[in-house]
């Protein structure tokens, strides 16, 4: 598979809730966009056009792709992708310009077989962008803590994310209402009605858990970085800044860690063609 060092290329991370897309020109970041899970027909349409801007426009999806890329055209784009969902990934891997990445292909030591590729990429991306050692807190469908040093996994933890907790309570109880997570609402701790009590319980305990993991991390790795990422990371960062400003000052917010991880994988392939089994 040919890899162009300076051309336009795309990155895709297929998550549980959404597809996350990013665009690079060589090593230069152009930006990201997000879609709901695409259908096989939509995926095929994009793939047949080599992800050209016109195909995205036909689907009504706004992207950051330039109208006149400097490499002479968008029909020769590479796609570097990782997925935590099996079926959509199978739709994409048949083309020669698609480079699928699994956990074992991420340049990270001390991993285990069931480690999610999204966590591995985010950790490597954080190490590349913010330096090692680093703790990644991914605020998505699941809230995950993933720590590493010297491009080696230390370990981590997984629990339900904010929106998953909001969905779980009405799904497993008879009387509790279905609520939508509102990132602009700051709940009072001692609520006086059921809905507000649910919001208070979910948000305050999630923030307490994050603070606890950060404090434990800083005790073990005083010089280590902490980075928030994921779909709800901006809201979580605002909440932390409101509740514990001194802690928030020690935390970095970077929603694009997975893309930096895919960039590391691509760069490794450019430097050592045999390093990634593609």
Strand 142-149 with 134-139, pairing: antiparallel
Contact by Cβ (8 Å): 11, 225: no
Residue 119 burial by Cβ neighbours in a 10 Å radius (0-12, 13-18, 19+): buried
Quote the distance between the C-alpha of residue 88 and its chain's center.
17
Distance CA 257, CA 127 (A): 9
Distance CA 228, CA 222 (A): 17
Q: Which tokens is 107 given?
A: 């340049």
Q: Find, among 256, 262, 265, 276, the residue nearest to 31 by Cα.
A: 256
Would you tell me the crossing angle of helices 257-271 and 117-130 to the nearest 10 degrees?
Answer: 80
Which residues make beta-bridge pairs with 261?
none
3-state secondary structure of 157: strand
Distance CA 59, CA 110 (A): 41
- Residues designated as active site: 118
């Amino acid at each position: 598979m040919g890899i162009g060092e300076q051309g336009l290329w795309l990155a895709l991370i297929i998550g549980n809730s959404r597809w996350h897309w990013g665009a690079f020109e060589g090593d230069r970041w152009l930006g990201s966009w997000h879609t709901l899970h695409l259908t096989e027909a939509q995926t095929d349409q994009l793939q047949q056009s080599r992800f050209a801007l016109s195909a995205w426009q036909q689907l009504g999806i706004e992207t950051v792709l330039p109208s006149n890329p400097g490499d002479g055209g968008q029909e020769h784009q590479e796609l570097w992708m990782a997925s935590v969902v099996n079926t959509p990934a199978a739709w994409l891997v048949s083309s020669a310009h698609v480079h699928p990445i699994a956990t074992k292909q991420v340049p990270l030591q001390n991993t285990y077989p069931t480690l999610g590729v999204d966590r591995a990429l985010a950790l490597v991306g954080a190490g590349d962008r913010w330096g090692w050692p680093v703790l990644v807190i991914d605020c998505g469908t699941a809230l995950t803590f993933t720590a590493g040093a010297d491009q080696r996994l230390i370990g981590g933890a997984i629990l339900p994310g904010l929106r998953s907790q909001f969905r779980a309570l009405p799904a497993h109880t008879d009387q509790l209402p279905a609520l939508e997570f509102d990132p602009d609402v700051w709940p009072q701790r001692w609520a006086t009605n059921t809905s507000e009590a649910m919001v208070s319980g979910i948000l305050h305990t999630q923030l307490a858990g994050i603070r606890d993991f950060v404090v434990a991390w800083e005790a073990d790795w005083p010089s280590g970085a902490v980075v928030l990422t994921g779909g709800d990371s901006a809201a979580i960062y605002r909440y932390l800044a409101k509740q514990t400003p001194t802690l928030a000052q020690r935390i970095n917010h970077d929603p694009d860690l997975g893309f930096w991880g895919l960039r590391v994988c691509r760069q490794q392939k450019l430097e050592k063609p045999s390093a990634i089994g593609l």
